[in-house]
């Protein structure tokens, strides 16, 4: 905050900046991480980013500054490097909380290189937890996933739905991480909220940040936008013989900005309920199940662009249908998804077009 003084010189109220609550955001330049950093800044918190740029790009930091007017501290470090992590904590006294995004997250890839997934996703988690303990930071928001449910017996999936055996190495790293967090939090040294995301899609309305898949996209929405813009010749729909209304798989797609806001609410909840929380999990979705073909037709209709597709065979590891019950997050985190399917496909398309212009 700046106050004009008699001399007319603006004096920055240092104590104002100094008092902002510091939140470590690992993977903070990634798809969900960057959107969460924007929302943290805009809600008056001070994110500190650690990101090794293995699945993100440095220009996103400039874009965060462009959107918010503030440039968060950034460390180009691998969270698997405990010495580097200690440097971040020692250079930023009083980091209160951590939102941990840094992990590998492609279901299909995880089946091809499981050891890389177990090492990266578990060592990074353990490093962060051990360093937080050393520096007395005890609030932790974990990026979990609906994958932990497998194919639920009953829908919508709620947080007490039994977890089926994960169908991918990616999913089992999330199940193992949740188990580690629950056990560590039970000692009283950590307060943790695990957020089980459903399917994050879309982009910031400014079209300055969005999803940046490296190589051929694993996920549906970036494949749709890259097909629509002509980078991919056609989309392959992985199976239309499921027991669903149009035969294609059903998911709970959630706008990435809604998901980012859920992290801010989760952080604030931890910071204001430190004495009454140990470990808890929350579904973060919309509660609506949408099929692959419904995504394609909504995208074509809203954006007035064709998405050529063929029907291919089923993809290993896919569950037939999953969508969330989010009443727990609605009530406790005071969070509810606001963006519609139309917003998701429009914002995803605007980002794709803007990004291609930027890379020309
Ligand atoms: C969605 C649907 C595919 C691509 C995973 C993780 C989850 C989260 C999102 C991290 C499925 C179909 C896809 C394509 C297709 N990860 N599809 N053709 O597998 O539901 O979830 O990614 O945040 O934790 O589990 O997402 O987008 O890969 O697939 O038909 O080219 O689209 O079969 O039915 P998924 P997805």
Could you give the angle at the alpha carbon of 162 between the alpha carbons of 176 and 147, nearest 5°? 55
Distance 242 CA to ligand 1 centre (A): 15
Mean pLDDT of 6-35: 74
269 an active-site residue? no
pLDDT digits (tens, 9 = 90+) for 291-312: 999 999 999 999 999 999 999 9
User: What was the pLDDT predicted at 18?
Assistant: 58
Q: Residue 78 above 50 pLDDT?
A: yes
Candidates 77, 149, 170, 242; catalytic one: 170
The domains found in the chain, sorted by start residue, are 18-355 (3.40.50.720)
Q: Residue 15 above 80 pLDDT?
A: no
pLDDT digits (tens, 9 = 90+) for 347-357: 999 999 999 98
Q: Is 146 left (phi over 0), alpha (psi -120 to 50) or beta?
A: alpha
Looking from the CA of residue 238, the nearest atom of ligand 1 is 30
Distance 210 CA to ligand 1 centre (A): 17
Distance 139 CA to ligand 1 centre (A): 30
Residue closest by Cα to atom 26 of ligand 1: 219
Q: CB within 6 Å of ligand 1 — which residues?
A: 105, 107, 145, 147, 197, 199-200, 218-220, 223, 235-238, 249, 251, 292, 315, 318
Distance 5 CA to ligand 1 centre (A): 56
Residue closest by Cα to atom 34 of ligand 1: 249
pLDDT digits (tens, 9 = 90+) for 121-150: 999 999 999 999 999 999 999 999 998 898
């Amino acid at each position: 905050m700046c106050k004009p003084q008699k001399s007319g010189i603006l004096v920055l109220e240092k104590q104002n900046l100094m008092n902002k609550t510091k939140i470590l955001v690992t993977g903070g330049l990634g798809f969900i991480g960057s959107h969460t950093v924007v929302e943290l800044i805009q809600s008056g918190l001070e994110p500190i980013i650690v990101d090794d740029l293995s699945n993100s790009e440095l220009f996103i930091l400039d874009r965060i500054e462009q959107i918010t007017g503030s440039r968060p501290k950034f460390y180009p470090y691998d969270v698997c490097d405990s010495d580097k992590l200690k440097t971040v904590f020692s250079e930023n006294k009083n980091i209160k909380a951590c939102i941990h995004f840094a992990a590998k997250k492609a279901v299909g890839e995880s089946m091809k290189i499981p050891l890389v997934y177990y090492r990266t996703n578990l060592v990074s988690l353990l490093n962060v937890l051990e360093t937080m303990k050393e520096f007395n930071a005890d609030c932790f928001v974990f990026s979990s996933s609906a994958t932990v449910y497998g194919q639920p017996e009953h829908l919508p999936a709620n947080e007490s739905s039994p977890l089926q055996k994960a169908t991918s190495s990616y999913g089992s790293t999330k199940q193992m991480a949740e188990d580690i967090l629950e056990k560590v939090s039970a000692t009283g040294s950590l307060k943790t909220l695990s957020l089980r995301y459903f399917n994050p899609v879309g982009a910031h309305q400014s079209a300055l940040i969005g999803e940046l898949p490296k190589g051929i996209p694993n996920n549906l929405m970036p494949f749709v936008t890259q097909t629509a813009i002509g980078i991919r010749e056609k989309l392959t729909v992985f199976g239309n013989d499921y027991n669903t209304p149009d035969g294609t798989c059903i998911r709970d797609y959630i706008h990435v900005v809604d998901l980012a806001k859920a992290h801010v609410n989760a952080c604030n909840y931890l910071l204001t309920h430190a004495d009454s929380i140990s470990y808890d999990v929350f579904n973060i979705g919309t509660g609506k199940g949408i099929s692959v073909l419904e995504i394609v037709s909504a995208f074509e209709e809203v954006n007035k662009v064709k998405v050529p597709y063929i029907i291919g065979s089923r993809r290993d590891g896919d569950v037939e249908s999953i969508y969330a019950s989010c009443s727990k997050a609605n009530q406790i985190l005071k969070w509810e998804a606001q963006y519609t399917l139309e917003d998701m496909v429009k914002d995803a398309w605007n980002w794709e077009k803007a990004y291609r212009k930027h890379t020309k």
